[in-house]
Amino acid sequence: MEHPWAIQTEGLTRRFGARTALDNLSFRIPRGTIFGFLGPNGAGKTTTVRLLLGLLRPDAGWARIMGLPVGTEARRLVGVLLDRDGLYDNLSAWDNLDFYGRIHRLPSPNRTKRIEELLRFSGLWERRDELVGGWSKGMRQKLALARALLADPPLLILDEPTSGLDPASLKMVRDLIVSLAADRQRTIFLCTHNLAEAERICTQVGLIRAGRLLVQEEPQTLRLRMSRPQVIITTSGLSREAVMAVRRLPMVQDLAVEGADLTLTLSEPAASEAVVATLVAEGVGVREVRRATRSLEDIYLELMQEEEG
């Protein structure tokens, strides 16, 4: 039976001298998930990736990849794109992929076919015999991604895969990530600083700070859970008295006025009806009432500030 978790860690801890880079990190990522691993620089993202790949040993705790303990066999199941692309400048695009194809024991005819398929897909086929040393960051990133996909691994660990890409390539990579997870139940562990990207493509996100996992949830659930009820009311004929009347309502926790728009943070979602009634009683026209949504970025910043506080 297939192991249900693509990645599983329990109490993973790693110290560098007196500094604790990872502190008792425990999480489980189900197969087929696009997991966005978010956090500021120095939060412990790279250390986590290195522990998952067996490049570092934990001081405490353990990690498993597809049910296997971290090590040689687990590494066969992982395609990797680290923060540095790891391409050989003095090898051609073809030779770079061929080398990794051999490492992953792809038999010769399949290897050739697979390399051609990936180079064509990445739009690099015409340049396959060029040394990659002179390539742009975007082209290198595409080739490094092709290398990660070479052995068709069930788990991809990608560190900032879209950094340095032009908008067209960025879209291509983003679509590719989504299709990879959807088509083949592939799991993608995505380290990124790009919160909008994470919000758009990730089915789960984990926020890490100072080596501790603050939260692991679906972006939608996280937004709902972390958002206090907030409404934006577009008015006509808004007066100072009406604003004062609304401010006095007990369920209004915060109020901001911007032109004809009132942005209110309420103690409960249903309280918007009382606000509208108060405005109407004050002779203000109510043109639109809509619920304000908080972005993942807002929540991320709030969590980071809370943690700092």
Partner 1 sequence: MREILIVTRKEFREQLRQRRDVLRYLWFAVVFGGLFPLTNMGQSREALAIGSLPWLAYAGVVTASGTTVGAFFLERQRGTLETLLATPLSDLAIFAGKVIFSLFISLLSVLAAVAVELVAVNAAFVVAPQGMRGVAGPFSFPPLICFALFVTGPLLLVYVIGASTLISLRVRSIRTANLLGLLSTLPLVVPVGLVSLVARPGLNWGFVIALTGAMVVVDAVALRVALGLFGRETVVLNIPT
- Is residue 38 within 8 A of residue 195, CB to CB? The reply is yes
Looking at the Cβ atoms of 88 and 270, the one nearer to partner 1 is: 88
Residue 76 burial (CB count, 10 A): 15
- Is residue 235 within 8 A of residue 284, CB to CB? The reply is yes
78-81 and 155-159 beta bridge pairing? parallel
Task: Give Cβ neighbours of residue 116 (< 8 Å, ≥ 6 apart).
Answer: 125
Q: Whole-number minimum distance, CB 72 to partner 1, in Å?
A: 5
254 binds partner 1 (CB under 8 A): no
Looking at the Cβ atoms of 115 and 264, the one nearer to partner 1 is: 115
209 DSSP assignment: E
* Sole binder of partner 1 in the list 23, 85, 197, 199 (CB under 8 A): 85
Longest dimension (CA), the chain: 80
- 131-150 positions binding partner 1, by CB under 8 A: 131
The residues that bridge with 162 in the sheet, in sequence order, are none
Looking at the Cβ atoms of 57 and 240, the one nearer to partner 1 is: 57
* Sole binder of partner 1 in the list 17, 84, 126, 240 (CB under 8 A): 84
The residues that bridge with 166 in the sheet, in sequence order, are none
Which of 276, 113, 303 lies closest to 207, judged by CA? 303
Site size toward partner 1 (CB under 8 A) is 28
292 binds partner 1 (CB under 8 A): no
Measured CA angle at 235 (ends 229, 239), to 5 deg: 105
Count, residues in the chain: 309
Looking at the Cβ atoms of 15 and 223, the one nearer to partner 1 is: 15
89 binds partner 1 (CB under 8 A): yes
54 binds partner 1 (CB under 8 A): yes
Looking at the Cβ atoms of 131 and 274, the one nearer to partner 1 is: 131
53 binds partner 1 (CB under 8 A): yes
- 59-78 positions binding partner 1, by CB under 8 A: 72-73, 75-76, 78
Looking at the Cβ atoms of 73 and 302, the one nearer to partner 1 is: 73
* Sole binder of partner 1 in the list 91, 243, 260, 276 (CB under 8 A): 91
- 93-122 positions binding partner 1, by CB under 8 A: 95, 99-100, 102-104
Whole-number Å distance between alpha carbons of 165 and 129? 22
Whole-number Å distance between alpha carbons of 203 and 191? 14
Task: Give, for 50, the enclosing helix (H) or strand (E).
Answer: helix 45-52
Looking at the Cβ atoms of 134 and 309, the one nearer to partner 1 is: 134
Q: Whole-number minimum distance, CB 16 to partner 1, in Å?
A: 8
- Roughly how many angstroms between the first and final C-alpha of the chain, as a whole number? 46
For partner 1, the binding residues (CB under 8 A) are 50, 53-57, 72-73, 75-76, 78, 80, 82, 84-91, 95, 99-100, 102-104, 131
